[in-house]
């Protein structure tokens, strides 16, 4: 790794993920749930944007002006290519945090997001970012900050230190990152086979090491093998941000807002008896063995009156983004997976799934739910929150988006769908209705591209996609896991996919603004 990277992994690029918590609209909902007034966001920033999927999808799908930096030039080149394709308001830099944060041409921001990066940078860079937050965040502005957390990482920290030492010391210069990671993991497993006492003291270590073996090497490189790696307690994070005039508001991770998913009755009662925010959050982290926090901090938080809070929540529109028959009524929290079996979920989904599929205001849903059922406003708000948390319902930014936003989203989506001809790394497209990303897999992107060209017959979609795959020497895989050898078999499977897409997915994508 070169000096400019300051110990951060640059030899292998990050994954092409989209993180919905970075969407200012998600922050607004979470803040309102917690009783805080959210800002109107016109200027936003993302520090450490990786491949730039989130920042580009948010810039293309809204009229918010976005700025950001990531010092891996390969990632920035990809992100800038997406920004050029969309033509959206996005200033994307490859500067180190110190030089980017010192720029004099940046506006003051209403929203600043950092996903994960805080845990993998040096103390000096953390000071640079804290100073940037202090200077450049407007009063009333929001910071989304996610980071690896103690105590959840305490049980794996010794193993991570061992893996990093092997990675740095036991490979010849020039050895590929993936190869070094594989060797380090093999060494870790060899250690565990000797039944070390640390494994008895930290019994979850073995299970986590086994899980790590199955994960993408690109992900592992950035998660475990940076020179700097600093999980921290919430109380330490609060100290870092105190001089920035930032106050903790709430979790951006929506399942955290449902106490029953994460805490026992006794634990809830204990937390409610703690008035000090720092002590309460630290106690909560110990109760759930928190490993990763996704938090919203506000410069000058303002509590809303109950009537104002409910008005904000009722005005928010939502959209069902999966076919009604595919909805999974399961949600996960610290206590494990829970059923969303209460009658309100079925009633709510029945309204959202009515044809033609369209956004519904929460207040409108409240009026359309069966009057005989004992559904309170609080029940409805929690049901909507958990359905959004599962990704099956999404918050709506603009039911009738501006033409410029529709156009920038369309240009970005066409560029991503063009990439899908060569592979399926990017699984998200831009929705001007949702103000961010919506998951669309590779085949769906290729079918959608045919629709944009005016072709509406599933048979024609399947034939066109088969031509693309065949020219690249690709084949589909059958139910037995083996490649399909004949064109007829490949076309049959593609036609089945196209027909499902036409009847189930296309109405959803049309409602999300991806197709007129």
444-471 mean pLDDT: 95
- 204, 224, 244 — which closes off a domain? 224
Least reliable range by pLDDT among 50-64, 327-341, 368-382, 392-406? 368-382
Q: What is the model's pTM?
A: 0.90
pLDDT value, residue 14 = 60
245 domain-assigned: yes
Q: Are residues 40 and 189 in the same domain?
A: no
312-368, pLDDT tens digit by residue?
999 999 999 999 999 999 999 999 999 998 889 999 999 999 989 999 999 999 998
**Both 260 and 288 in a single domain?**
yes
423 is a domain residue: yes
DSSP per residue, 295-334: EEEEES--BPPHHHHHHHHHH-EEEE-S-GGG---EEEET
pLDDT digit string, tens, across residues 267-300: 999 999 999 999 999 999 999 999 999 999 999 9
DSSP 162-190: HHHHHHHHSS-TT--HHHHHHHHHHHHHH
Q: Looking at residue 373, what is its pLDDT?
A: 66
Sign, Cα dihedral of 246, 396, 455, 411: negative
Q: Does residue 15 have a pLDDT over 80?
A: no
Task: Please give the Cα distance from 113 to 39 (Å, whole number).
Answer: 14
Provide the mean pLDDT of the chain. Answer: 92
d(CA 334, CA 339): 14
**C-beta of residue 421 within 8 angstroms of C-beta of residue 495:** no
Average pLDDT rounded to a whole number, residues 370-387: 85
306 in a domain, yes or no? no
Rounded Cα–Cα distance for residues 387 and 348 (Å):
10
On whether both 101 and 247 belong to a single domain, the answer is yes
Encoding tokens for residue 424? Answer: 């399926």
Residues 22 and 48 in one domain: yes
Please tell me whether residues 280 and 331 are part of one structural domain.
no
Which residues form the domain of 131? 3-151+230-299
Q: How many structural domains is the chain composed of?
A: 4
Residues 6+ away with beta carbon under 8 Å from 329: 339, 340, 341, 345
- Residue 304 domain-assigned? no
pLDDT at 9 over 50: no
In terms of domains, do 371 and 392 share one? yes
Looking at the structure, tell me whether residues 346 and 375 fall in a common domain. Answer: yes
- The answer on 15 and 72 residing in a single domain is yes
Q: Within a domain: residue 445?
A: yes
- The last residue of one of the domains, among 224, 252, 275, is 224
Q: Which contacts of 451-460 are long-range, i.e. CB under 8 A and separated by 24 or more positions?
A: 451/506, 451/515, 452/410, 452/414, 452/417, 452/515, 458/495, 458/498, 458/499, 458/501, 458/502, 459/495, 459/498
Tell me, yes or no, whether 203 and 71 share the same domain.
no
Please check whether residues 379 and 506 belong to one and the same domain. Answer: no
> Which segments of 393-468 are extended strands (E)?
393-396, 428-431, 436-439
- CATH number of the domain encompassing residue 288: 3.40.50.150
- 62 and 119 assigned to the same domain: yes
516 lies in a domain?
A: no
380 and 432 inside one domain:
no
Decide if pLDDT at 10 tops 60. no
Tokens matching residue 11? 């030899």
To 10 degrees, what angle do helices 123-136 and 234-242 make?
Answer: 50
C-alpha span between 298 and 244 (Å, rounded)? 10
Among 274, 299, 324, identify where a domain stops: 299
């Amino acid at each position: 790794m070169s000096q400019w990277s300051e110990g951060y992994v640059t030899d292998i690029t990050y994954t092409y993920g989209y993180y919905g918590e970075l969407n200012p609209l998600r922050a607004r909902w979470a803040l309102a749930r917690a009783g805080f007034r959210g800002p109107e966001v016109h200027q936003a920033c993302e520090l450490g944007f990786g491949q730039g999927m989130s920042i580009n999808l948010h810039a293309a799908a809204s009229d918010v002006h976005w700025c950001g930096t990531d010092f891996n030039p390969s990632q920035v080149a990809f992100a800038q290519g997406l920004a050029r394709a969309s033509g959206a308001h996005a200033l994307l830099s490859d500067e180190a945090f110190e030089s980017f944060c010192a720029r004099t041409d940046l506006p003051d921001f209403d929203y600043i997001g950092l996903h994960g990066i805080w845990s993998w940078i040096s103390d000096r860079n953390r000071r640079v970012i804290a100073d940037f937050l202090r200077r450049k965040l407007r009063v009333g502005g929001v910071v989304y900050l996610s980071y690896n957390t103690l105590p959840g990482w305490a049980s794996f920290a010794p193993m991570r230190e061992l893996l990093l030492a092997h990675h740095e010391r036991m490979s010849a210069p020039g050895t590929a990152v993936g190869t070094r990671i594989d060797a380090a993991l093999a060494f870790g497993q060899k250690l565990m086979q000797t039944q070390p006492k640390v494994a008895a003291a930290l019994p979850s270590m073995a299970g986590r090491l086994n899980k790590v073996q199955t994960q993408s090497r690109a992900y592992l490189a950035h998660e475990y093998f940076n020179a700097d790696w600093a999980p921290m307690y919430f109380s330490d994070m609060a100290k870092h941000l105190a001089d920035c005039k930032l106050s903790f508001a709430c979790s951006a991770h929506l399942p955290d807002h449902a106490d029953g998913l994460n805490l026992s009755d006794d634990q809830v009662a204990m937390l409610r008896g703690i008035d000090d925010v720092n002590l309460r959050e630290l106690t909560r982290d110990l109760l759930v063995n928190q490993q990763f926090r996704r938090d919203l901090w506000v410069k000058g938080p303002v509590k809303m009156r109950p009537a104002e809070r409910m008005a904000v929540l009722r005005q928010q529109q939502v959209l069902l983004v999966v076919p009604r028959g595919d909805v999974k009524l399961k949600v996960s929290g610290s206590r494990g997976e829970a059923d969303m079996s209460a009658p309100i979920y079925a009633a709510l989904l029945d309204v959202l799934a009515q044809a033609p599929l369209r956004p519904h205001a929460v207040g409108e849903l409240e009026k359309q739910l069966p009057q005989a059922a004992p559904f309170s406003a609080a029940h409805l708000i929690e049901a909507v929150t958990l359905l959004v948390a599962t990704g099956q319902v999404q918050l709506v930014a603009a039911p009738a988006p501006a033409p410029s936003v529709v156009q920038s989203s369309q240009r970005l989506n066409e560029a991503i769908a063009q990439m899908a001809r060569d592979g399926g790394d990017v699984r998200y497209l831009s929705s001007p209705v949702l103000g961010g990303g919506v998951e669309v897999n590779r085949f769906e992107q290729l079918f959608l591209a045919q629709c944009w060209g005016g072709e509406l017959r599933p048979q024609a979609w399947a034939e066109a996609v088969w031509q693309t795959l065949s020219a690249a020497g690709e084949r589909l895989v059958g139910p037995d896991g083996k490649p399909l050898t004949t064109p007829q078999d490949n076309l049959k499977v593609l036609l089945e996919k196209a027909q499902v897409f036409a009847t189930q997915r296309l109405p959803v994508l049309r409602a999300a603004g991806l197709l007129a």
